[in-house]
């Protein structure tokens, strides 16, 4: 009787992999197992190790001192793991802040706790759109709390694939896919960041420093605009506070950041490879879809007994002019409230909220953010029916 | 757990300290098994169960092959092992790919079939540990390895944490003998291990992630046509990134193993100085190319068959090598391109090897240049997410988009140029050497200076925690 293996072999014409003895060449390579030992280059390794360690420690200490002399201080870096840590604290009835960096800078958690009776959880992300977080909260069937959502039209309507969208989606993705190692890493990193000033990946890392090299670009090169340098601190609750150096009147840093905001808040030029009218139509369609999606998410949260309120937070100077011109209230804020039926607070509608000046045109100073939040609370309580 | 993360630094310090402070060899091996499973479970704990299951199955199957006296029984057990390993790999890695292609295929004959999308998470490093484990039963069957009696030793051979998730592919036959006698702590060996880890981390964190990954990602992620300069810059950036990423990981793995007293073989040998494609594959991902050579190419007949069959063998091996990297046709094309390169090279050798001009320096330089360019062209398919991107990139590289966009800053172009020139020069300088001999020739002050620069650069780069590219394979 023929064996099943041999007919298997014949039918599939399997290679001789399973059916032949190894050649001499194979035997030399694969076995019998040879003792293999890596060569160790002769060098005074102990001495080298000691000197390298001394140089590395000394250079690190010198770099730390230099960074501190420039005014940098130890603070946490805002990253997905820190955001996930905050997101995991959300309870079914929590008060949650979502949206962009204005909510991150301008809302003081202590004042909000005093005003609303519960300490909110800060989920706003710098340079991000609120939509992915809203969608995630709407999907969370246990959540029936309160959402306070900051609204900056340029960010709120950011299309899929754009940096604001990607930033928010990264956080959500990390929430659902965070590995135990990433979780542990954040716990290990936090104490370091709280004590070491030079740990600022965006500014003081090798990449950040290379970014600052004043090398002119080719004419016509579509190079992304720069992002603002470090100008805030952040604590474990993700409360951001503007760096004093930026908040000083006439601060050079603030002036520099003002000029960085302007290109960042202008709509990007249409891609050269898509006809302008097609691109404009796509953008229009995307905005319509965003209105519809947000409306649906708001309805879902409300259907579970949750509440949502939109906030338009202070901005000033040239940035306010730009936003008012490119994204006027009548085309953005008003339709948003109308389509969602959610309440909203537009800071300039209330004299006590309108008088704040943003040093770098987009965010309040740490001191002003406390006062602003205190003044905001009665309005918030009213619209939330508290 | 990434080598370039603080978690790993703490984990490694604890493991190394405990390992060398324990006296009993079995206890030390138990510690390494535990550490390896913690290391692997730190990605996704349930996958540690999968790792254990395949390992235990292969251990048992290895025993069955070893004790079977009848050749047919030995084959049966080997087929069981191969099927078990490949079906595991097939399900987790190629499940959706196969379903999508089946859908496409039946669609061609008019059948509308909507397969369910299997929400399968790819266990990290499955392609690597499957090969670690498979090498054991294959070598027992071939009669070049005796089955080990210790399940613990075999578990450690498959899951040893430095090489577990992204290679080098360490064959059980190379690792198991090292578990017989306890290694002694040797100061120089330990420090050389740390030095290799520093070089590996420098390659990964500074060169791959900081200087090259950003431009490469932007170029390959751009939706429109690009001018030739940016297209080539993107491809060169990726060519450098993938080398430093993977070679960096391999060096870290070799260094980490060495600090624990284990010796792993080189996985890279200055591949961008390769003259010809067979030379390239003797220098690039050596553990995979030798695995494919020994367990696939030679059993297929290797080059001891008629020329046409030998060429076909090369194509088959590289096709499977491409597919091993990922479940996408772009990887297949990458593999087939390399297969074709190898065939063309063989034909050229037959035709021109005896010509006196064939070994002239200018011809060698030309051959190197052709090899490097062809390897870079193949990288386009390796990196591109789909054929639309690959075609667009090739169009840009060969002047098809004269009015395309320029999206890289001058600084990025300079970075890519400097790193590419640096890596090629370095590989040429070390072409006939090993890393160890190069270090041996350096004066101690130069070793110290280079070590200090690398250590400082890693610290100042602040441990960008990008995952290693090869984790996805």
In angstroms, the separation between the Cα of residue A99 and the nearest Cα of chain B is: 26
Instruction: For residue B238, tell me if it sits in a domain.
Output: yes
| B255 and B222 part of one domain | yes
- Higher-confidence position of B39 and A1: B39
Confidence check: pLDDT of A5 > 50: no
Q: How many domains does chain B have?
A: 2
Using the 3D structure, point to which of B164, B182, B200 is the last residue of a domain.
B182
B171 and B197, same domain (yes or no): no
- Are residues B364 and B294 part of one domain? yes
- Give the tens place of pLDDT for each residue, A350-369: 999 998 999 999 999 999 99
List chain A residues with CB under 8 Å of B468: none
Residue B67 shares a structural domain with residue B168 = yes
Question: Using one digit for the tens of pLDDT, what is the confidence trace for B45-72?
Answer: 888 999 999 999 999 999 999 888 888 8
Statement to judge: residues B285 and B177 lie in one domain = no
User: CA quadruple A320, A326, A331, A337: dihedral positive or negative?
Assistant: negative
In tens, the pLDDT along A111-127 reads: 999 999 999 999 999 99
What the block records as the tokens of A72 is 């940098």
| Cβ-defined contacts of A32-36 (< 8 Å, 24+) | A32/B144, A32/B145, A32/B173, A33/B145, A33/B173, A33/B174, A33/B176, A33/B177, A34/B174, A34/B177, A35/B177, A36/B174, A36/B263, A36/B265
Note the pLDDT of residue B464. 58
B406–A221 C-beta distance less than 8 A: yes
Task: Please state whether B330 falls in left (phi above 0), alpha (psi between -120 and 50) or beta.
Answer: alpha
Average pLDDT over residues A338-361: 93
**Catalytic option among B63, B132, B285, B325:** B325
pLDDT band per the 50, 70, 90 thresholds, residue A35: low
- Which residues of chain B make contact with A272, given a CB cutoff of 8 A? 224, 405
Do B257 and B159 lie in a common domain?
no
Nearest partner of A243 among A364, A112, A137, judged by Cα: A364
pLDDT score recorded for residue B117? 66
Would you place residue A27 in the very low, low, confident or very high pLDDT band (cuts 50, 70, 90)?
very low
Q: Give CA–CA dist B126/B143, Å, rounded.
A: 26
Sketch the domain layout of chain A as residue ranges.
67-210+231-384
**Facing B457 at nearest CB: one of A184, A185, A206:** A206
Q: Considering the domain boundaries, does residue B388 fall inside one?
A: yes
Helices in A144-219 by DSSP H: which ranges? 153-156, 163-177, 180-193, 206-211
Asked if B286 contacts B268 with a C-beta cutoff of 8 angstroms, the reply is yes
Judge if the upstream peptide bond of residue B168 is cis by omega within 30 degrees of 0.
yes
What's the whole-number average pLDDT of chain B?
A: 90
> Which of B443, B462, B465, B466 should be substituted to probe chain A, the one whose Cβ sees the most A Cβ atoms within 10 Å?
B462
B282 inside 8 A of chain A by CB:
no
The answer to whether position B218 is within a domain reads yes
| Residue B129 and residue B263 in one domain | no
Nearest of A80, A85, A87, A88 to residue A174 by alpha carbon: A80
* Residue A28 clears pLDDT 70, i.e. is over it: no
Binned at pLDDT 50, 70 and 90, residue B120 comes out as low
pLDDT of residue A250: 84
Q: Which residue has the higher pLDDT, B473 or A18?
A: B473
> How much is the pLDDT for B268?
93
Environment class of A176 (CB within 10 Å of its CB; exposed 0-12, middle 13-18, buried 19+): exposed
pLDDT band of B463, cuts 50, 70, 90: low
Instruction: Determine the Cα–Cα distance for residues B400 and B396; give it in Å rounded to an integer.
Output: 5
Question: Which pLDDT value is given to residue B294?
Answer: 87
| A33 pLDDT above the threshold of 50 | no
Domain that holds residue B77: 6-101+119-182
Phi/psi for A242 (5° steps) reads -65, 140
**Shared-domain flag, residues B144 and B202:** no
Q: Which of A138-142, B302-306, B314-318, B359-363 comes out lowest in average pLDDT?
A: B302-306
User: Distance between the two ends of chain B, CA-based, in angstroms?
Assistant: 16
B200-246: per-residue pLDDT in tens? Answer: 999 999 999 999 999 999 999 998 899 999 999 999 999 999 999 99
ipTM of the modeled complex: 0.85
DSSP 8-state class, residue B470: G
How does residue B470 score in pLDDT terms, banded at 50, 70 and 90? low
Convert the pLDDT of each residue in B130-159 to its tens digit: 998 999 999 888 888 888 888 999 999 999
Q: Do A41 and B436 touch (CB under 8 A)?
A: yes
* C-alpha dist (Å) from residue B425 to A125, A152, B420: 44, 50, 8
Q: Could you read off the pLDDT of A263-276 as tens digits, one per residue?
A: 888 877 788 888 88
Residue B346 inside a domain? The answer is: yes
> Could you report the per-residue pLDDT of B246-298, keeping only the tens digit for each?
999 999 999 999 999 999 989 999 999 999 999 999 999 999 999 999 888 88
Q: Closest Cα of chain B to A378: distance in Å? A: 44
Q: Express each pLDDT in B380-410 by its tens digit.
A: 999 999 999 999 999 999 988 878 889 999 9
Cis peptide preceding B163, ω within 30 of 0? no
Q: Is B6 close to A188, i.e. CB distance below 8 A?
A: yes
DSSP structure class, residue B209: I
Residues B302 and B334 in one domain: yes
Partners of residue A176 in chain B, C-beta under 8 Å: none
| B132 in active site | no
What is the percent of chain B where pLDDT is above 70?
A: 96
**From A53, which residue of chain B is nearest by alpha-carbon distance?**
B452
Which of B147, B164, B182 terminates a domain? The answer is B182
The pLDDT score that the predictor gives to residue A170 is: 93
Q: How confident is the model at residue B1 (pLDDT cuts 50, 70, 90)?
A: confident
Note the pLDDT of residue B298: 87
Whole-number average pLDDT of chain A: 87
Q: What is the pLDDT of residue A220?
A: 83
Check pLDDT > 50 for residue A38: yes
Average pLDDT score over residue span B455-472: 75
pLDDT tens-digit series, residues A65-113: 999 998 899 999 898 999 999 999 999 999 999 999 999 999 999 999 9
* The pLDDT of residue A288 is above 60: yes
> Does residue B112 form part of some domain?
no
Cβ-contact B259, B194 below 8 angstroms:
yes
pLDDT tens by residue, A212-238: 888 998 888 888 878 888 889 999 999
**Nearest CA of chain A to the CA of B443: how many Å?**
8
Residue B440's CB is within 10 A of a number of other CB atoms, namely 15
* Calpha distance B1→A123 (Å, rounded): 26
pLDDT at B299: 86
Count Cβ–Cβ pairs < 8 Å, chain A vs chain B: 209
Q: Is residue B108, in this structure, part of any structural domain at all?
A: no
CA dist., res. B381 & res. B384, Å (int): 5
User: Nearest chain B Cα to A22, which residue?
Assistant: B142
Give pLDDT, residue A3: 43
Which of the listed residues B155, B182, B209 is the one where a domain comes to its end?
B182
Give the model's confidence band at A34: pLDDT under 50 very low, under 70 low, under 90 confident, else very high.
very low
Convert the pLDDT of each residue in B68-104 to its tens digit: 888 888 999 999 999 999 998 888 888 888 888 888 8
Burial of B137 (0-12, 13-18, 19+ CB in 10 A): buried
What's residue B420's pLDDT?
97
pTM given for the model: 0.88
- State percent of chain A over pLDDT 70: 91
Q: Give the full edge-to-edge strand order of the sheet including A307-312.
A: A121-122, A95-98, A146-150, A307-312, A344-346
Identify whether residues B298 and B374 lie together within a single domain: yes
Per-residue pLDDT reduced to its tens digit, B176-202: 888 888 888 888 999 999 999 999 999
């Amino acid at each position: 009787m023929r064996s099943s293996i041999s007919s298997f072999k014949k039918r599939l014409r399997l290679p001789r992999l399973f059916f032949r003895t190894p050649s001499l060449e194979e035997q030399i390579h694969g076995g019998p197992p040879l003792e293999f030992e890596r060569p160790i280059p002769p060098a005074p390794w102990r001495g080298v190790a000691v000197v390298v360690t001394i140089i590395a420690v000394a250079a690190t200490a010198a770099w730390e001192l230099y960074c501190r002399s420039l005014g940098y201080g130890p603070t946490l870096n805002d990253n997905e793991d820190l955001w996930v840590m905050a997101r995991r604290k959300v309870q079914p009835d929590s008060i949650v802040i979502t949206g962009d960096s204005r909510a991150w800078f301008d809302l003081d958690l202590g004042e909000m706790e005093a005003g609303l009776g519960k300490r909110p959880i800060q989920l706003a992300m710098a340079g991000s759109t609120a939509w992915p977080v809203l969608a995630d909260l709407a999907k969370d069937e246990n959540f029936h709390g309160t959402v306070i959502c900051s609204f900056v039209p340029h960010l709120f309507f950011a299309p899929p694939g754009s940096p604001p969208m990607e930033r928010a989606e990264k956080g959500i993705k990390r929430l659902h896919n965070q590995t135990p190692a990433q979780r542990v890493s954040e716990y290990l990193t936090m104490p370091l960041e709280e004590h070491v000033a030079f740990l600022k990946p965006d500014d003081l890392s090798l990449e950040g420093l290379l970014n600052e090299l004043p090398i002119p670009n080719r004419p016509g090169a579509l190079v992304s605009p720069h992002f603002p340098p470090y100008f805030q601190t952040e604590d474990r609750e993700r409360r951001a506070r503007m760096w004093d150096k930026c908040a000083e009147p006439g601060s050079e840093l603030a002036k520099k950041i003002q000029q960085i905001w302007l290109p960042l808040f202008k709509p990007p030029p249409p891609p050269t490879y898509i006809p302008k009218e097609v691109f404009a139509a796509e953008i229009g369609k995307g905005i319509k879809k965003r209105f519809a999606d947000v409306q649906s998410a708001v309805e879902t949260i409300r259907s579970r007994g949750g509440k949502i309120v939109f906030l338009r937070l202070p901005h000033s100077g040239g940035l306010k002019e730009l936003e008012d011109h490119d994204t006027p209230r009548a085309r953005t804020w008003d339709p948003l409230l109308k389509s969602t039926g959610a309440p909203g607070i537009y800071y300039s509608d209330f004299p006590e909220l309108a008088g704040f000046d943003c040093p770098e045109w987009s965010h309040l100073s740490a001191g002003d953010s406390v006062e602003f939040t205190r003044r905001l609370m009665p309005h918030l309580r009213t619209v939330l029916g508290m | 757990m990434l080598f370039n993360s603080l978690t790993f630094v703490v984990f490694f310090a604890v493991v190394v300290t405990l390992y060398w402070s324990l006296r009993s060899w079995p206890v030390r091996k138990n510690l390494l098994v535990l550490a390896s499973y913690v290391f692997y479970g730190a990605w996704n704990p349930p996958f540690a169960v999968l790792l254990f299951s395949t390992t235990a199955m292969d251990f048992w199957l290895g025993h069955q092959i070893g004790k079977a006296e009848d050749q047919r029984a030995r084959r049966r057990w080997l087929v069981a092992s191969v099927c078990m390993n490949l079906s595991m790999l097939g399900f987790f890695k190629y499940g959706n790919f196969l379903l999508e292609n089946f859908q496409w295929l039946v669609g061609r004959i008019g059948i509308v079939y909507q397969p369910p999308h299997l929400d399968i998470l790819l266990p990290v490093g499955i392609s690597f540990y499957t090969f670690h484990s498979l090498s054991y039963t294959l070598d027992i069957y071939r009669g070049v390895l005796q089955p080990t009696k210790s399940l613990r030793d075999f578990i450690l051979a498959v899951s040893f944490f430095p090489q577990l998730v992204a290679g080098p592919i360490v064959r059980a036959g190379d690792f198991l003998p090292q578990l017989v006698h306890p290694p002694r702590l040797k100061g120089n060996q330990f420090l050389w291990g740390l030095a290799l880890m520093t070089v590996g981390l420098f390659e990964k964190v500074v060169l791959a992630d900081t200087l090259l990954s950003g431009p490469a990602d932007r170029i390959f992620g751009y939706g429109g046509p690009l001018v030739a300069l940016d297209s080539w810059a993107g491809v060169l950036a990726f060519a450098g990134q993938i080398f430093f990423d993977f070679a960096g990981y391999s060096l870290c793995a070799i260094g980490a193993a060495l600090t624990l007293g284990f010796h792993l073989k080189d996985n890279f040998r200055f591949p961008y100085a390769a003259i010809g494609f067979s030379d390239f594959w003797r220098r690039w991902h050596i553990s995979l190319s030798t695995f494919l050579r020994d367990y696939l190419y030679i059993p297929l007949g290797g080059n001891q068959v008629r020329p046409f069959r030998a060429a076909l063998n090369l194509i088959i091996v590289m096709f499977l090598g491409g597919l091993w990297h990922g479940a996408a046709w772009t990887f297949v094309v990458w593999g087939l391109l390399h297969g074709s390169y190898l065939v063309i090279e063989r034909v050229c050798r037959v035709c021109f090897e005896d010509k006196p001009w064939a070994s002239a320096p200018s011809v060698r330089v030309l051959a190197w240049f052709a090899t490097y360019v062809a390897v870079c062209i193949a990288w386009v398919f390796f990196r591109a997410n789909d054929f639309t991107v690959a075609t667009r990139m090739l169009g840009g590289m060969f002047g098809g988009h004269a009015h395309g966009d320029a999206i890289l800053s001058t600084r990025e172009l300079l970075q890519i140029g400097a790193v590419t020139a640096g890596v090629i020069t370095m590989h040429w300088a070390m072409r006939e050497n090993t890393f160890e001999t190069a270090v041996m020739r350096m004066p101690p002050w130069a070793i110290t200076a280079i070590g200090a620069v690398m250590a400082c650069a890693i610290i100042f780069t602040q441990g960008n925690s990008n995952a290693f590219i090869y984790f996805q394979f």
